[in-house]
Amino acid sequence: MEVNLFAKKIKKIRERQRIKKLALRILLVSMLILALLMIFLSALALRIASSNKNSEQKISLTKSKITQFQDVESKQVYLVSKLGSFANLLKLQERHQAVAEAIFNMIPDGTSLQGFEVNEKGTIDLVGNVPDWSKLFELFKRIREQTTVQLKVAQAKVNRISFGKTGEINFDINIVLSGTNQ
Amino acid sequence: MKNKKLAMMIGATLVLGIIVFGPTLSNLQKRIRVSKQQGIELNNLEKKLQILEGIDKNLTTDRVKKMEAVFPSDKPIIQLLSSLTQLAAKHDLTFGGVSLSPGSLTDEKKEDSLADLTFGFEVSGELKSILKFLQELERVAPLMKIDKVGLTITTKPLSGDNNTMIAAKINVSAFYQPAPKSLGSIGQPVKLLSRSEEAILSQLFNFTQFEAVLPVAQTGKTNLFDFGQ
C-alpha cells in the first residue's frame, strides 16, 4: 500500500502553475489583440487623414470654380434680395390701380374733382363739383351701381352738397370700396 | 482567489489599453469629425456650384438690368422725370408743376430697406389722354404708385372743337431699395427662384422703359465760331 503524503501540496502547486499559465496566456492574447487594434486604428487614422486631404483639395477646387461664377451669384443674390419688396409693391400697385380705375368709372363727364386720395384700404374722400343736378344724379347712380371684377362700393356717404357762385354744385362724398384687401 | 487574480489581470490590461490607446482614439475621433464637416461642406459647395451652373447667365443679366430700371437701388430722380415727361408727350399732354422732395442725397437708410420718393406734378390735356396717362403711369419704369389725383376742367381757349380739357394734379410715390453690399461667405447657399417668383420677375418686362434724357449743358470754353467745318 502506497501513501502519498504530499497529495494536497502537489495539487496546490499544480493549481498555481495552471493559474500562472492561464494568466500568461491571457496576457499574451491581450497584448496581441491590443497590438492588432493599434495597427487597425493607426491604419484607419491614416486612411481618414488621406481622405480628408483629398476632400480638402476637392473643396478648394470647388471653391475656385464657384468664384468663377461670382458674377452670376451676385446677380442672383441681387434679384432675390429685391424680389420680396417688388412682389409686395406689385400687389399694392394692382390694388391702387383698381381703386383709381373704379373712381374714374364713377365720374361722369363734366365733373371737376378737387382731388381724391387713393389708398389700399379703399376709403376715398371724393370732393369736387358738377355743372348741374343731372350730372350729380348720374354720379350717385354710378356710385350705387359701381362694380368691377375686383371692387364694389361697400358704403357711400354724402357729407355735403352746396351751390357754388357760378351755379355749379359742390359735393363731398365718402366712399368705401370693398374687395381691396384680397 | 483565482477569479480575483483574473480580474486584476483584465483590469491591468484595460488600464494599459486606455494609456496606450487614449491619444490614438482621441486623434481618430478628431479626424472623423473633420471628415464629417468636410463632407457636409463639400456637399453644400457642390450643390451651390450645380445651382450656379444651371442659372441662365443672359436671362439673369437682362432681369438685373430691368430690375434696376423698374425698382432701382438709388433714388430714381432723373429716370422719374424723364419717364413722366416722355409719357406725357406720348399722350399729347403738357407736363409741369413738378414738386419733388428727394430728401437726403446720402445713404442714410439701412441696407436692403425699402424707401420711397414722393412728388407731385401737373398734366393737362384731353380727358381721354389723361386717363390713358394714369393707366400707363403705373406700368412705367421706375415703379411708382398714384397717391392722390385732382382733376379740374379747363376750357380750351381759341378752339373750335368740343373736346374737354382737363388739368390733373397728381401725387405719386416712386420706390427704390439699395442692393446688398456683400455676397456673404462662399459656403452660403444660393437661392433658386421658385415658379411663382419667376412669374413675378417676368412681370418686370411688362414695364415700359423710357431712355433717361439728361439736359446737355455747355461747360468750359467753347469756340462760338466753330460751325462744324
Q: Does one domain contain both A39 and A108?
A: no
The residue among A34, A68, A102 that closes a domain is A68
Q: Which among A127, A139, A109 is positioned nearest to B164, based on CA atoms?
A: A109
Q: Which among A126, A128, A130, A136 is positioned nearest to A110, based on CA atoms?
A: A130
A182 pLDDT exceeds 50? Answer: no
Residue A75 within any structural domain of the chain: no
Q: Look at chain A and report how many structural domains it folds into.
A: 2
A50 pLDDT exceeds 90? Answer: yes
Residue A77 within any structural domain of the chain: no
Which domain range does residue A160 map to?
A: 86-179
Best A15, A20, A66, A130 member to test B by mutation, with max B CBs in 10 Å, is: A66
Whether B182 and B162 have beta carbons less than 8 Å apart is answered as no
Per-residue pLDDT, B166: 79
Residue A32 within any structural domain of the chain: yes
Whether B118 and B172 have beta carbons less than 8 Å apart is answered as yes
Of residues A38, A62, A75, nearest to B21 (C-beta)? A38
Q: Does one domain contain both A114 and A41?
A: no
Residue A27 or A33, more confident: A33
Q: Does one domain contain both A54 and A6?
A: yes
Question: Which residues, given as ranges, of chain B have pLDDT below 50?
Answer: 157-159, 217, 224-229
The average confidence (pLDDT) of chain A is 83
Are A69 and B53 an interchain contact pair (Cβ–Cβ within 8 Å)?
A: yes
Give the separation between CA B143 and CA B147, rounded to whole angstroms: 13
Q: Does one domain contain both A29 and A102?
A: no
Q: Does one domain contain both A62 and A91?
A: no
Whether A125 and A172 have beta carbons less than 8 Å apart is answered as yes
Q: Does one domain contain both A98 and A168?
A: yes
Per-residue pLDDT, B30: 92
Q: Does one domain contain both A37 and A92?
A: no
Are A66 and B71 an interchain contact pair (Cβ–Cβ within 8 Å)?
A: no
Residue A12 within any structural domain of the chain: yes
Model confidence at A20, pLDDT cuts 50, 70, 90, reads: confident
Residue A28 within any structural domain of the chain: yes
Per-residue pLDDT, B115: 82
Backbone angles phi, psi at A178, to 5 degrees: -105, 160
Are A48 and B35 an interchain contact pair (Cβ–Cβ within 8 Å)?
A: yes
Are A66 and B186 an interchain contact pair (Cβ–Cβ within 8 Å)?
A: yes
pTM greater than the 0.90 cutoff: no
The residue among A68, A100, A118 that closes a domain is A68
A57 pLDDT exceeds 90? Answer: yes
Best A15, A33, A61, A83 member to test B by mutation, with max B CBs in 10 Å, is: A83
Give the separation between CA A121 and CA B179, rounded to whole angstroms: 30
Per-residue pLDDT, A60: 94
379747363: which residue's cell?
Answer: B154
Of A48-57, A73-82, B162-171, give the range with the top mean pLDDT: A48-57
CATH code, domain carrying A115: 3.30.1360.100
Q: Does one domain contain both A3 and A31?
A: yes
Q: Which among B62, B92, B104 is positioned nearest to B166, based on CA atoms?
A: B92
Per-residue pLDDT, B43: 93
Per-residue pLDDT, B228: 42
Q: Does one domain contain both A46 and A97?
A: no
Residue A172 within any structural domain of the chain: yes
- No. of H helices and E strands in chain A? 3, 4
Average pLDDT of span A86-103: 81
Residue A74 within any structural domain of the chain: no
Per DSSP, the three-state class of B56 is coil
For residue B149, the tally of other CB atoms under 10 A from its CB is 20
- The pLDDT tens digits of the residues spanning B115-157 come to 888 888 999 888 788 878 888 888 888 888 888 887 776 655 4
∠ at Cα B73 (B109, B188), nearest 5°? Answer: 85
Q: Does one domain contain both A54 and A136?
A: no
Residue A73 within any structural domain of the chain: no
Of residues B2, B10, B138, nearest to A19 (C-beta)? B2
Average pLDDT of span A88-110: 79
ipTM of the complex: 0.75
Q: Does one domain contain both A105 and A64?
A: no
For residue B170, the tally of other CB atoms under 10 A from its CB is 22
* Lowest-confidence segment of A103-117, A158-172, B62-76 by average pLDDT: A103-117
Q: Does one domain contain both A57 and A102?
A: no
